[in-house]
Homo-oligomer: A and B are copies of this chain.
Amino acid sequence: MARKLNFGAGPSQLPLPVLERAAQEMLNYHDSGMSVLELSHRSALYESLHNQAIADLRSLLGISEEFSVLFTQGGARMQFDAVPLNLATRFPVGNYLVSGYWSDMAEVWARKYTRTQAIPYSNDSTLWNCGSPGYFYYCSNETIDGVEWLPSAADLQSVSSLPIVADMSSNILTTPIPCSSLGVFFAGAQKNLGPAGVTVSVVRKDLLGSAQSFAPSLLDWQLLDQQNSMYNTPPTYMIYMLGLYLDYVKKRGGVQSFYEESVRKSGAIYEVVDSSQGFYTSRVPRARRSRVNIPLSIRNGDAALEKEFLLQSERRGMTQLAGHKSAGGLRVSLYNGISEADTQQLADFMREFAAEHC
């Protein structure tokens, strides 16, 4: 059975060497006579892989000791609660830049805990500086809308002098991050970091320690920080898999190399779209196009042709190309586990399919 190519929005395709190593070490990790699944989270062997994953995240993303690197559970979704639960006592307004589905969801959810302000995602970012005495929140890539915003440190400084929070679930590790201008950023692992079940939450240390009194323990960043994310049993195997993924990224040249690759990969797909004479269409303005999630229509929403595209792509071993149920159409997700060759295979098929049906 040949490997399928998974262009889904997550859980995502993992690099083959990561899976092969996991399979090989399943029964006996580092000559311990045990699987990682069985290791006590208090054992030296587990602690070592846990701390190595943190160290690798720090070095790959340039995260200084000013920040705490936490492993949380519940995905980005749980951080939608954790952000206001941890910040709103000191920064009582949540200023949410709404660029799509997920930032909208985060804003709506934050209303449970604090006053919020939804800031429309206009072209002129100087309008975003609301001046409210709160935190500023953005989602660096919207998986459903296919919109990406990659601000520089200077961009962020011009937006807000207050803590800036970023949901980087879908593009972390695909691009360098302006860490020094951020207060908090987080990402579920299941797109570019590893499997579902562990989330990386990076918090500037001066923002710890202000959780609301009714914050559940596992949403209180300070509690997690004090225990090196082992306040209770962490999802040990998922952290191990994340570690294997980070190791792979390091060996393949680190974040800059994956950034360049992602530009080439998404470029190859957009090139097919833009040269298709309207066969494939993207509704996202060029300046905002995402490198990692590309929602598309065929002939502006020809459902029968889109269905045929999905059928044929599936037959060629390319899967999960349907759009999000709320958006319909197609969607191409190009996370770090998708290689340039994988992308080329899809681009070739897209060209063929367009030629056949033009």
Q: Is the CB of A217 within 8 A of B1?
A: no
Q: Is the CB of A85 within 8 A of B216?
A: yes
Question: Does A92 make an interface contact (CB < 8 A)?
Answer: no
- Report chain B residues within 8 Å CB of A75: 232-233
Q: How many copies does the complex hold?
A: 2
Question: Does A81 make an interface contact (CB < 8 A)?
Answer: yes
Question: Does A243 make an interface contact (CB < 8 A)?
Answer: no
Q: Which of A13-21, A55-63, A202-210, A290-298 contacts B (4 or more CB under 8 A)?
A: A13-21
Q: Is the CB of A19 within 8 A of B8?
A: no
A-B CB contact pairs (8 Å), 16 listed: A1-B28, A3-B28, A3-B33, A4-B34, A6-B38, A13-B38, A14-B37, A19-B37, A22-B26, A34-B319, A37-B195, A37-B241, A73-B74, A74-B218, A74-B232, A78-B218
- Of chain B, the residue at the smallest CB distance from A76 is B232
Which one of B22, B40, B78, B213 contacts A11 once the chains associate, using CB atoms below 8 Å? B40
Interchain nearest-CB distance for A249 vs B (Å): 16
Q: State the CA gap A319–B81 with chains docked (Å).
A: 39
Question: Does A162 make an interface contact (CB < 8 A)?
Answer: no
Q: Is the CB of A231 within 8 A of B33?
A: no
| A residues adjacent to B (C-beta < 8 A) | 1-4, 6, 8, 10-14, 16, 19-20, 22-24, 26-28, 31-35, 37-41, 43, 73-78, 80-82, 85, 109, 112-113, 188, 190, 195-198, 213-214, 216-219, 231-238, 241, 317, 319-320, 337
